[in-house]
Structure 1
């Protein structure tokens, strides 16, 4: 069991073990795990000499867990998103770069930083979407809702962690059932959208460790959108904006659901991989 050695030896052994387990970029991940085992930032490894002997008793257990395909973010307990540093746990999905497409789209559609005052994030998870939006719109206050009490506690902690605690509140409930009313300038949501038959084919890191309730979108992956689109009209202020994350190939179906619910399709934006990822709707300017 490797607990002592040079950094190069740690990385060589770690990369070989992770590569054999099918982990992508095994040397990079071994480096991140070694930094975590040493209690330092990854950049601090650059200052370590080639022959310096390191003691990292936690490294073998971390390697074993990663080789079993437990996500790296769960092992180190954190994940970067937008400009934020977020704590993560098995109560929520791990924030992914694909979701940043919603924040990019929001800034493009609402360039004035004074444009938004009341935000809502349904299925908030770590709070990543709400907190990223709040970080860009300093006049806004936001509410995040999640079915999981653990997720709500985590998101509240992330608000404090990123100096946004006085501008965000979190409550536990099923979608908007815990809310007394609407009038939101912005509603964000990354709902479950994986079709149930496809769940077993997801990466081992996802299907084995992330919460199924945050993944399973029903037989065709659209169950949550049917519910959400029916509620957005009542949650949004006149002229309010809703942005929903969607899975690959779902954007047009979700757009149709929103339009049938008296919302105007405003924009469909792609993530960095070119996949249509963010669907934006506009509420009517006046109530019916």
Structure 2
């Protein structure tokens, strides 16, 4: 019996090693390419370890006037920051309302809201584009930021599930102390919702940070482009030969905020995923 358990664990460990190697190898190759010269990155078969580590590639990425990576990074940070703030605040307000109030038609409204998750983005893309055109918001950050302040169906669902786990006695004690409904939301529900709020913040940040279609639709000035647009332009006809080493440097810089955010909020993120499924 012991031999079977040991053999099973050995096979499972081997499978984990193979899967880990398969998933991490593109990351290693990305870092390796980022530190290569232009001539070395065109070699075939490719080399995994650069002959000389070209750290100046990162400096060139920020100083290249054609790429303007610093402006791209700044624009993405601004849009992602306000998107996270808007999504967290608006989704938390709506989720608290669905959790606390038990009026007639509440379940129907909640089902209608959840059903919007089944709508593909192309179905609402044209009406949104026409709306923002009429509002004269084209070539600005407003179409990418303002919708976040009206909530997200998926984030509202996650937060509502968490708010449902808070005991009614908590709100009763708030009423006894003379708290208004807003104070109970702001001073009682939100401070206890750290894991769920961290989950919503990470999801909204990653979605905004990686969004390519939205900026392509609404932005036309190069000084307002975001990272996804700039990185896509690096492999277009803008360059005679795509600077893959600089593109890999850009990919590393683009990944760093997401990795850092997840590393900082990892504990609360995993708690939020678990707790939102508990009723």
**TM-score, normalised with respect to structure 2:** 0.23
Higher helix share: 2
Higher relative contact order (CA 8 A, sep 6+): 2
Bigger Cα Rg: 2
